[in-house]
């Protein structure tokens, strides 16, 4: 019964958060069971572009290391802040949310080439946290019961804690930089004099992922109108 309750609760989570979290957990489980090797997942430009192992463009965002405190720490932040974004500023805009993932992922891969970074899931987490924190500047965050501060400080606290866990701060910095670029292009620049939206979600994503908008000029047939049908 407990498992059924957990499954029911998980199925109520928004689609993007549910899909990404499940993919991360299943990938880590496959590595733990030795069904996959991290060497099959990491980002390697030579193997991607010369050997056409294109799956590495995705799998490098799904593996957060072996099961342990660091993995659960990252999953907690992925699940929480991905869900807060999807249920908050991206509510009803699934296509825009997926496009943010795509934009951030492509930019991280391009910038990651400069730093020889092989796994970028932690950077993606930092990006999600950064975008949420900038869109929720007045929210006060309790960081594991140790510190309480305004939301915009959260990405930096996360980077410091990640450093204490022995992780490279380059990955977190990359996520913060990409998150700031997205936030500037999406939230700041369009509101400047002469500014406009530069990040336009492709139409095919909206057709696939968003519910069709109702036509304001549509007049329903009599049998479709509420109330008793007039004969």
Higher pLDDT among residues 105 and 117, named by residue: 105
b/e for 71-89, b at 16 or more Cβ within 10 A? bebbbebbbebbbbbbeeb
Predicted confidence at residue 23, as pLDDT, reads: 96
C-alpha dihedral (214, 197, 86, 165), degrees to nearest 10: 170
Where residue 2 falls among pLDDT bands split at 50, 70, 90? low
| Mean pLDDT value across residues 30-46 | 93
Residue 22 half-sphere exposure, CB side, CA atoms within 13 Å? 10
Taking the C-alpha atoms of residue 19 and residue 212, their distance in angstroms, rounded to an integer, is: 22
Does 50 score more than 50 pLDDT?
Answer: yes
CA 69 to centroid of chain Cα atoms: 21
Q: Domains along the chain?
A: 11-205 (1.20.1540.10)
Does 132 score more than 90 pLDDT?
Answer: yes
Predicted confidence at residue 148, as pLDDT, reads: 87
Count Cβ atoms below 10 Å from residue 120 Cβ, excluding itself.
27
Does 228 score more than 60 pLDDT?
Answer: no
Which range is least confidently modeled, 2-11, 170-179, 186-195, 219-228? 219-228
Count Cβ atoms below 10 Å from residue 7 Cβ, excluding itself.
10
| Mean pLDDT value across residues 68-88 | 90
Predicted confidence at residue 229, as pLDDT, reads: 40
Where residue 26 falls among pLDDT bands split at 50, 70, 90? very high
| Mean pLDDT value across residues 70-80 | 89
Mean pLDDT, the chain, rounded, equals 86
Does 230 score more than 80 pLDDT?
Answer: no
| Mean pLDDT value across residues 69-79 | 89
Predicted confidence at residue 224, as pLDDT, reads: 44
Taking the C-alpha atoms of residue 66 and residue 164, their distance in angstroms, rounded to an integer, is: 17
% of the chain residues with pLDDT over 70: 88
């Amino acid at each position: 019964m407990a498992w059924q309750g957990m499954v029911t609760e998980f199925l109520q989570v928004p689609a993007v958060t549910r899909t990404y979290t499940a993919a991360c957990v299943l990938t880590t489980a496959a590595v733990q069971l030795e069904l996959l090797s991290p060497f099959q997942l990491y980002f390697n430009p030579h193997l991607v572009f010369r050997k056409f192992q294109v799956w590495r463009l995705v799998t490098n965002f799904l593996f957060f290391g072996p099961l342990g405190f660091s993995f659960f720490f990252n999953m907690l932040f992925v699940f929480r802040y991905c869900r807060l974004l999807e249920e908050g500023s991206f509510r009803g805009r699934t296509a825009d949310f997926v496009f943010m993932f795509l934009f951030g992922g492509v930019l991280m891969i391009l910038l990651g080439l400069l730093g020889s970074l092989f796994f970028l899931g932690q950077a993606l987490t930092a990006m999600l946290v950064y975008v949420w924190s900038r869109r929720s500047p007045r929210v006060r965050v309790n960081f594991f019961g140790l510190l309480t501060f305004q939301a915009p400080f959260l990405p930096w606290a996360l980077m410091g804690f990640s450093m204490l866990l022995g992780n490279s701060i380059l990955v977190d910095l990359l996520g913060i930089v990409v998150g700031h670029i997205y936030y500037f292009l999406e939230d700041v620049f369009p509101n400047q004099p002469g500014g406009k939206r530069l990040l336009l979600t492709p139409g095919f994503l909206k057709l696939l992922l968003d519910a069709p908008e109702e036509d304001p000029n549509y007049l329903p047939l009599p049998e479709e109108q509420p109330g008793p049908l007039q004969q």
